[in-house]
Amino acid sequence: MSEKIEVCQTYETDPKHMELAREALTEEETIIKASKILSALSDKTRFKILLALSHTSLCVCELEELVSLSQSAISHQLRILRDANLVSSKRVGQKAVYFLSDEHVEALISQSMKHAQHK
């Protein structure tokens, strides 16, 4: 037998609060971009790559060793991270070296780790 959930029938919304919330939801393009970022962060392998890159720039072969995946699998994950604008790359000789796109990505990774470690 399922429990009945009581709903307060007398609850009135605060128009000021509703307006603030409504305004936050008007940034549709930004919301789509943010959700794409969070989706990219939600994969454990991609998060490991970002965590490694939060400490130093690395090439695919170094990431391959660190994350224990094939070069093609790493490249696939890096493509998703590039599409979400989380990582960038530059050519150094024959290699492509990857790094976090900006300080916001570093903050996301750092705060995610701190939040996960918080009791």
Give the pLDDT confidence of 72-101 residue by residue, as tens digits: 999 999 999 999 999 999 999 999 999 999
**Mind listing the pLDDT tens digit for each residue in 34-73?**
999 999 999 999 999 999 999 999 999 999 999 999 999 9
CATH of 15-117, one of 1.10.10.10, 1.20.1260.10, 3.40.50.300, 2.60.40.420: 1.10.10.10
- Name the phi and psi angles at 46, rounded to 5: -65, -40
Task: Give the residue with greater pLDDT, 3 vs 68.
Answer: 68
C-alpha distance from residue 6 to each of 1, 2, 3, 11, 22 (Å): 16, 12, 9, 12, 26
Domain ranges of the chain: 15-117
